[in-house]
Structure 1
């Protein structure tokens, strides 16, 4: 079977017709601005139509992972307090009646944070003014240069904020979206080669697996990646495979977007995450936490958690707890999350710095560094890694590149690192995986 026959293609005009029918069904049910609608379904044309039709009616879709255990899903639905729960069948809301749509989404979807620590929090932006709605959509479309000629390849699940954002704005810009289903490297390679998408968003795990396939990358004008640090060898291989300037990285979270890193910026500053997006300014505080001043249409609160909202904001500046540095030229470097910080013998050890040193070894694919309790040092530094290097070889490598406090006290080779569905390493799971 060819890639063409097995991959749904969502075209902007077709989706808009379905969005109008979604808007009609919502109006008929009396569901309006600020109400929430829960859906937890696999990627499909119907899911995109429901999300965009709701947003352009001022209804806030709460997009949940369809693989959630029933009890966890029930907790999140109860917390979201929706006017309607579509379950895993978004098509049921595409009715016969049609209604008008706003030109741009009047809200952002509410996602529950899927970080590696803590209880999930709903990220709520409410209903936007028309002016802010236009500014929000225009910023995203112009930043990535999206237009009617774009064919976006969907590689990541739509219940995550970044993949959904790229798909929605491609349709809003008049382009089309390819939905090849759950990620499979061989299938994705065929789609890239045969259907020649122009844009995609992915995480580094996707890139590592695609680089092992026979892929014709030449159709891409823009490949954006985020979600987890990208090992330098992987990044350089992708830059070499694509046309000049096509590879972009960005730093953001479910809550807010911070930076963009072009190919040129990364080559000039390998390992950085670029500079602030337009309209934003990044600074650090005395603890090394990154704060970002954002435009009004990027504001949010944590749903029904005012104390967490208050901790995140200082005027128009917001933090999600990440640690980093900002150079004089505005280049941003990440040191990890505050909860990932390892304090060994009173020395702050940033996992990202140690991982960068280990990942530079030619026989290491990627690594993850974390701390475990230690009676003498408070915590000791431990590393898990994927690759063919032996622990002794890697320990010698680390001794030549890291100060004593930062060197892993033990190194453990694994077939793969445990991850969230967005590609973030589950550091808290590693001690259990390794029996530490």
Structure 2
């Protein structure tokens, strides 16, 4: 189980710091005891439905509840504090928890009558008086339920087993070279699996974890400079915020990034800010976990080679294997994929792998002659321009080569003749003519955006990715407004 090494760490280095926040710190002896007591408390509740929702801020209590539930054989469901009441209610209905744990201060936001709510401050007192217990369960048990959007826009849940993350921890050791002597900073919200994974993998390996309550570039740089941090988990939007502080961090540092690939000019600036940096970018998905990784500059447009325990196939639409450098749908086989999806309350997870264990999340990729993977884009992001397929990500990679472009996104807008046309949304000060010339120098002519919009701030999801649906609606509204204004002038 993902919590199994804690007791060994407590014996090997009992007074070593396991977790440090601004306000608190726990040794591995204290951390192991806290998790074992929490596990025993969960078992004492006597529920047959072993599912708990966490509506908690970043901090030791979040990790304690998550790990304690896992050790007790329960499934933990982190809930985003930014969700509106309706979003929260839908996810509670789908996960159907036995109990929801929140804090006294957050209780007014949990306006969901169907939830069995427990207050953390009260739970903590009960846990402190409970005798510790050993792990209960096995590696094939579910321990983590997350959410993604279904085809109708309603949420669906994905469920992950202990073994899937234990296999991922092996990648963290082998490919990322993170070990028990590392000091790992997690500056982002634990509701997102990238940061939650970074925290739990550090504790599994036996490193020291530094946790911020909320991301701030100032606080992140302060911890980096004041503590012996050797590993930093982040996403590209956080890197941009750090770059805005115009400072240099001299210590040796391993950076683990996901969510989007760094563009060449951003990567250069990061290396200027962190001169002793090992930059590890990985490609994956919530359903797949790790797929491939890159930590060198030889092929800057590639997302690297598959991890040691991952097999990758690129397939044509008819299911045949694609040729070298031919774009097709990527299929992944590994021990790190999820158990399955759940779209209705109480139903068993529906497996996503085929009979031979292959899984796809409908990304369109290609493999070169050396086995390096290149992401073309998501199938559902693809723009159908006449009879031609255009992947927005390819155009965005070119647009962000321009030094005056802060962010760029490309979407398809409805067109009565072509079906869809490409529209570029740009955050920055670049001139349209310069951007068109840049596109023409690197792309086929039909891929050059037909519509150009300059916006003050790119709409992003809570995990820092482009909110394409919101952006498309925003651009369509601007297009309608421009058309109405033009008609009025005539």
**Structure 1 and Structure 2 fold alike (TM over 0.5):** yes
1:139 shift after superposition: 4.5
1:100 shift after superposition: 2.3
1:301 aligns with 2:346: no
* Residue of structure 1 in register with 2:390 after alignment: 349
Query: Helix, strand or coil for the counterpart of 1:268?
Result: coil
1:134 shift after superposition: 5.3
* Residue of structure 1 in register with 2:158 after alignment: 123
Asked whether the 8 Å contact 1:282–1:326 carries over to 2, the reply is: no
* Residue of structure 1 in register with 2:373 after alignment: 332
**1:146 counterpart (178, 185, 188):** 178
1:337 shift after superposition: 0.9
Q: 1:382 to 1:46 in 2, by over 3 A?
A: same
Q: 1:262 to 1:242 in 2, by over 3 A?
A: farther
Q: How does 1:7-18 map to 2 (within 5 A)?
A: 8-9=24-25, 11-18=27-34
**1:170 counterpart (197, 202, 223):** 202
Q: Out of 117-126 and 425-434, give the one that drifted further.
A: 117-126
* Residue of structure 1 in register with 2:40 after alignment: 24
1:407 shift after superposition: 0.5
Asked whether the 8 Å contact 1:313–1:319 carries over to 2, the reply is: no
1:360 aligns with 2:401: yes
Q: 1:268 to 1:71 in 2, by over 3 A?
A: same
**1:379 counterpart (400, 414, 420):** 420
Q: 1:314 to 1:326 in 2, by over 3 A?
A: farther
Asked whether the 8 Å contact 2:171–2:307 carries over to 1, the reply is: no
Q: 1:24 to 1:72 in 2, by over 3 A?
A: same
**1:224 counterpart (243, 256, 261):** 256
1:276 shift after superposition: 1.0
Q: How does 1:30-49 map to 2 (within 5 A)?
A: 30-31=46-47, 35-49=50-64
1:41-74 superposed Cα distances (whole Å, 9 cap, x missing partner): 1111011011111112211101110121122111
Q: 1:168 to 1:400 in 2, by over 3 A?
A: same
Asked whether the 8 Å contact 1:153–1:178 carries over to 2, the reply is: yes
1:167-204 superposed Cα distances (whole Å, 9 cap, x missing partner): 01111222222222222222222222222422121111
Q: Calculate the TM-score normalised by the size of structure 2.
A: 0.80
**1:269 counterpart (274, 287, 299):** 299
Q: Out of 186-195 and 374-383, give the one that drifted further.
A: 186-195
1:362-400 superposed Cα distances (whole Å, 9 cap, x missing partner): 222221111000111110000111221122321232233
Q: Calculate the TM-score normalised by the size of structure 1.
A: 0.89
Query: Helix, strand or coil for the counterpart of 1:162?
Result: helix
Asked whether the 8 Å contact 1:12–1:175 carries over to 2, the reply is: no
Write the distance in 2 (CA, Å) between the matches of 1:17 and 1:310: 36
Write the distance in 1 (CA, Å) between the matches of 2:261 and 2:268: 13
Q: 1:221 to 1:231 in 2, by over 3 A?
A: same
1:354 shift after superposition: 0.7
Write the distance in 1 (CA, Å) between the matches of 2:143 and 2:356: 21
Unaligned runs of 5+ in 1: none
* Residue of structure 2 in register with 1:98 after alignment: 131
Asked whether the 8 Å contact 1:55–1:108 carries over to 2, the reply is: yes
Q: Out of 426-435 and 305-314, give the one that drifted further.
A: 305-314
Q: 1:114 to 1:92 in 2, by over 3 A?
A: farther
Asked whether the 8 Å contact 2:185–2:229 carries over to 1, the reply is: yes
Write the distance in 1 (CA, Å) between the matches of 2:348 and 2:32: 39
1:112-149 superposed Cα distances (whole Å, 9 cap, x missing partner): 12699933221113576xxx775454444444333332
1:201 aligns with 2:240: no
Asked whether the 8 Å contact 1:59–1:107 carries over to 2, the reply is: yes
**2:310 counterpart (280, 293, 300):** 280
Asked whether the 8 Å contact 1:64–1:159 carries over to 2, the reply is: yes
Write the distance in 2 (CA, Å) between the matches of 1:134 and 1:398: 43
1:427 aligns with 2:441: no
* Residue of structure 2 in register with 1:58 after alignment: 73
Aligned residues: 426
1:409 aligns with 2:444: no
Q: 1:86 to 1:401 in 2, by over 3 A?
A: same
1:304 shift after superposition: 4.4
